[in-house]
Amino acid sequence: MAPPTPISIPTFAEAQLQLLLQEHEAEVASSSLASTAASVSPSTRRTLQATGYALTGLVLSQCRTGLGGRVVGEFTPDPAVASTGSKSQDGGDARASDGQPRLGSHGMRVGDVVRVNDVSAGSAKKAGKDKDKGKDGGKDGSKGGPEGVVTRVSDKAIWIAFGQRGGGARSKEDDEAIEELWGKKLWA
């Protein structure tokens, strides 16, 4: 029996990219959140946060250039509405008593694709940052704000990398969409 003929690496990679794109499109089509993210009501955002699928009351605190030239935004709780940690009953844990706002409980993990939108736009245009399953990390102005991939999560912040699929090159529209997030109350 002769060994199988090897497949060239570029052919294999192209086939995998096509399959991943088809999978992403199927998941987006089957997700009601992906299609209605731009018109989510405040009560729906609260429900999503209560179930761990969203974070509300965030602000963009820092932007940096990350790996591959992607913009990495650090999103922290809005100090005006966020709760701070308190001392434990045994009097210890200096981390919990440092007075810094904490994120609410959520299910966002590294690698999740999220969309970041302005809360104040309400149900008119932009409503939030919502968790989609998929492999698209870029912009999406028609459905709301820019999309990105969660790169780091802590109890005080969540970091999201924005950039086009397949590379770190950003378009002018991507940069403008991220710039528009400064000073606004956001949700995830």
Domains of the chain: 9-187 (2.40.30.270)
Return the pLDDT at 54: 79
**Angstrom distance (rounded) from CA 63 to CA 176:** 13
Mean pLDDT score, 155-165: 83
Averaged pLDDT for residues 177-185 = 76
- 76, with CB counted inside 10 A (0-12, 13-18, 19+), is buried
DSSP state of 121: T
162 by Cβ neighbours in 10 Å (0-12 / 13-18 / 19+) ranks as buried
Mean pLDDT calculated for residue range 75-104:
64
More confident residue, 31 or 128: 31
For residue range 93-138, list pLDDT tens digits in order.
444 556 778 887 778 888 888 888 887 765 443 334 444 433 333 4
3-class DSSP state of 26: helix
Q: With cut-offs at 50, 70 and 90, classify the pLDDT of residue 83.
A: low
pTM of the model: 0.62
Over residues 170-182, mean pLDDT: 70
- The answer to whether residue 14 scores a pLDDT higher than 90 is yes
Q: What is the mean pLDDT of the chain?
A: 72
Query: Cα 32 to chain center, whole Å?
Result: 17
**CA 112 – CA 135 distance, rounded (Å):** 9
| Distance separating alpha carbons of residues 83 and 129, to the nearest angstrom | 20
Residues paired with residue 64 on neighbouring β-strands, in sequence order: 72
Statement: residue 66 has pLDDT above 70:
yes
Dist CA 68 CA 33 (whole Å): 29
